[in-house]
Structure 1
Amino acid sequence: MDINELHRGRLIDHLQLVVRDLDASRDFYSAVFDILQVPMGGVEDDFFWADEFCVSTAESAAAQGELTGRAHVAFQAADEAMVDAFHAAALAHGGTDHGAPGKRPYHPGYYAAFVLDPDGNNIEAVYHGPAQRSAESVKVSF
C-alpha cells in the first residue's frame, strides 16, 4: 500500500503516535496487527504504518520533534478469541495489562481487552458481538 493513497469518506484520515522507542513499538504493534490480521503497510527508518495508523520517532519529519500525549486507540476484532489473542500477544511483546479480556457494560455484546503500549497509550481490541446486530440497536456509552 502506498502511504500517500487517499481514501475519501472515512471519518479518520490517519492517526500518528510519536514514540520514544520505535523498535519496542514496532515489536508490539507487529504482534498486535498479526493477531488482528492487519498487514503492515510499510517500515522506514523513523516510522512504520498499517492502514491509516502510523507510528514514528520524534525525529521523523511529520513529528516535528514532539512526542504525542497518551491516546486511547481501539482496534476492531473479528471475534472474542481474537480479543483474547490480542491481549496475550500484546503482553508478550512489551504491553502492560490495562483490562483483561471480557464483557464490558458499554452495550450488549461488547467484549474487549485493554493494554498499555510501550509508551503508555491505552490500546484496545473490541468485538461488538454477532454481525446480525444492526447499528441502530447499539448504543455506546463513554
Structure 2
Amino acid sequence: MTPELHRGRFIDHIGLVVRDLAASKAFYAAVFEALEIPMGGSDERNFWADELFVSTSDSEEVRGELTGRQHIAFQARDRAMVDAFHRAALTHGGRDNGAPGERSYHPGYYAAFVLDPDGNNIEAVFHGEAERSAASVRIRY
C-alpha cells in the first residue's frame, strides 16, 4: 500500500479503458513528462498517474460494458507547459483537436486539445495567473 498520496482539488480518480495499452502508454508517458506528472503502476494491464488510471478491458479494476469517448483536462503550470503538452502528444500518437491558444471560457484560459490513440479528447489548460492554497491534498495512511 502507498503510505502517502497527493490528490487534486475535486476528482478522486478517472479510469480510461483503452484498446492498445502500449500505444496509450507511449502517448501518456510523453504528455505526462511534458506536464511533469510522474507515471506509475505500469504492467501489462494498466498504468496510472495522479488521479488517472488507464487499463485494458480485461483488467480486474474495470467491469461492465465499454463506453464512448471521454474528455479529460490536465492542469498546466503555465502557457509553455500547455505548448509542450501539445507537441509531446502529437509526436507520440495524438491527433490535433485544438492548437494551443486562448479560449473564451474565461479570461486567461489557455489550452490545447488532442485526441489520444483511442479518440479521447485530452486537454491541458492554464487558467492564468492565480494563487493556490495548496499544490495538492496530502493523504497519509
**Scaled by the length of structure 2, what TM-score is found?**
0.85
Mapped pair 1:23 → 2:22: yes
Structure 1 CA distance, aligned partners of 2:8 and 2:98?
32
Runs of 5+ in structure 2 lacking a partner? 133-141
> Where does residue 59 of structure 2 map in the other structure?
60
Answer whether contact 1:113 1:125 (CA < 8 A) is retained: yes
1:101 corresponding residue in structure 2? 100
Contact 1:31 1:89 survives alignment (8 Å): yes
Using the TM superposition, give the Cα deviation of residue 10 of structure 1 relative to its aligned residue in structure 2, in angstroms: 5.3
Greater shift, 15-24 or 56-65, is seen at: 56-65
1:84 corresponds in structure 2 to: 83
State the distance in 1 between where 2:96 and 2:40 align: 27
Offset of residue 68 of structure 1: 3.7
Q: What percent identity do the matched residue pairs reach?
A: 70
Runs of 4+ in 1 over 6 A off after TM superposition: 4-9
Secondary structure at the residue paired with 1:99?
Answer: strand
8 A Cα contact 1:58 1:66, kept in partner: no
Give the Cα–Cα distance (whole angstroms) in 1 for the partners of residues 87 and 6 of structure 2: 32
Cα displacement (A) at 1:41: 2.4
In structure 1, the gaps of 5 or more residues are: 134-142
Q: Retained in 1: the 8 A contact 2:108–2:128?
A: yes
CA RMSD of aligned residues (A): 2.4
Displacement of 1:40 after TM fit?
Answer: 0.7
State the 1:6 CA deviation. Answer: 6.7
Q: 1:59, 1:65 within 8 Å by CA — same for their partners in 2?
A: no
**1:16 and 1:110, CA in 2 relative to 1: closer, same or farther beyond 3 A?**
same
Q: CA deviation at 1:7?
A: 6.9
Shift of 1:44: 1.7
TM-score by length of 1: 0.84
CA distance in 1, matches of 2:62, 2:92: 24
- Find out whether 1:115 has 2:107 as its counterpart: no
- The number of aligned residues is 133
Kindly provide the amino acid, as one letter, of the partner of residue 85 in structure 1: A
Q: Which whole-Å CA distance do the structure 2 matches of 1:97 and 1:6 have between them?
A: 32
